[in-house]
Structures are given as C-alpha cells and as structure tokens.
Amino acid sequence: MPTSLILAVLVITIALAGLVALRPGLTIARGGKILAFLAFFIFPVFAGLLGLENHMERAKQTSFCLSCHIMGQYGQSLYVDDASYIPAAHFQNGRVPRDQACYTCHTDYSMFGGFKAKFRGLHHIYAQYVTGPQLPVKLYHPYNNRECLHCHEGSRSFEQGVMHTADPQTMADIKSNKLSCTSSGCHDTIHNVKQLDHVKYWKPVQ
C-alpha cells in the first residue's frame, strides 16, 4: 500500500482520536461510544498494522541498508567493474532486484527466514548505536549455500557446470552445504571492501 495512503489513514485516525479526546462528552450517546471504540481501538490498531507492514517492506530496500554509514563500502562494491565480484555481478546483471539487492542475498530462505532477517536487523541497530560496531563487519554465521541455491538450483549453468560436475561428490556436498559456494578457489570474491580503492567501477547508463 502506498505510504501516502497509510499517512492519510493515520491522519484520519489522529483526527478522530483528537475529537473524542477534546469532546469526551460525545461518548454519552450510543453513537459516541461507537465512535470512541473506533477512534481508540479499531482505527489505531488498523493504522498501526498498515504502518508496520510499510516499515517491513521498506526494510528490504537497498537504500535502507545503505542508510547506515558503515554499509557504504558494501554498497560501493556493487558497482565494481569485475565479474569475479559476486555481489557486483548479481547486482549489475539484474540477477537480484537492484532495489532489494542486500535483502535478496542476505535473508534466510527458510521458514521464518524473513522474520530472522528482520531480527538480525534489530541486532544491527543495537550493535550500531549501543555496543558500537565491531570492525571488520562479519556475518553472524557462515554464508549458507541455501541462499544461493534458492535461485541457482535447477539452472543449467549450475547443474551442468564443469567444476560442479567434475566429481559426483561435489554436487552433493554443495547441495548439503558441506562445501561452501564461497570456498577458496570457487566463488570467493565477495564484497572485498579492502580492495575498493584499487578497482574500476561500472557507471550505469542513465
């Protein structure tokens, strides 16, 4: 739902709540009681849920993740002009939606994965503003192949890739997360923020 519509609902609810607060005598009549119940319970809950849903959706946006200064270099790495940089290759070639690039790769594709991702987001805020961030930024857990396979499993380039099929055990290990996709020698160039001063950058055509 558009933010403007949610704001309109919130403003109407504020007006109703304000009206009953300023004129509590209205609640003497039956109609006033109903108005108070709508203004003090039904509408605030409804408006709050709409706002919460809006915040949850916005939390998926790349611009939202990059609004924290500490994430700036990770956003910059999406524009590296080098196909070996996995996030950059995905971002630049539209393999992930550009406006939800961070979330698409860093959510959990499991039951309650979205909830876990949001909870981690709250932990990020705690780390940023309470304990202070620990540099360099690291993932809480090793990157799970499940997140890669959510899109790549079944695709020709993955299932019939030369390295993936060189040994029958390799594919089984990849799919069971025993052999990480980001293992050394495989797809091991990720954001690589330490090298950002020594790379070329892609400029999107406007």
Partner 1 sequence: MMLTQTPLNSRLRLSGSLIALGLLVQALSLLWNHPLSFIAFIGLGGLLVAGGIVLYLFTLVTIPSAGTEDINGNAKAQTPQT
Give me the residues that bind partner 1 (CB under 8 A), please. 3, 6-7, 10-11, 13-14, 17-18, 20-25, 27-32, 36, 39-41, 44-45, 47-48, 51-52, 54-55, 58-59, 61, 63-64, 67-68, 121, 124-125, 128-129
Q: How far apart are the first and last CA of the chain?
A: 28
Shortest distance, CB of residue 6 to partner 1, whole angstroms?
6
Which of 61, 180 has the CB closer to partner 1?
61
Which of 118, 175 has the CB closer to partner 1?
118
Shortest distance, CB of residue 36 to partner 1, whole angstroms?
7
Shortest distance, CB of residue 118 to partner 1, whole angstroms?
9
Which of 55, 178 has the CB closer to partner 1?
55
Report the amino acid identity of residue 83. Answer: A
- Please tell me the distance from the alpha carbon of residue 58 to that of residue 71, in angstroms, as a whole number: 16
Shortest distance, CB of residue 97 to partner 1, whole angstroms?
17
Which of 59, 149 has the CB closer to partner 1?
59
Angle between helices 3-22 and 30-37 (to 10 degrees): 140
Angle between helices 145-152 and 168-175 (to 10 degrees): 110
> Which residues are CB-contacts of 65 (< 8 A; sequence separation ≥ 6)?
71, 74, 75, 102, 103
Shortest distance, CB of residue 87 to partner 1, whole angstroms?
21
Which of 25, 185 has the CB closer to partner 1?
25
Classify residue 183 as left (phi > 0), alpha (psi -120 to 50) or beta: beta
For residue 145, give Cα distances in angstroms to 86, 109, 151. Answer: 14, 10, 11
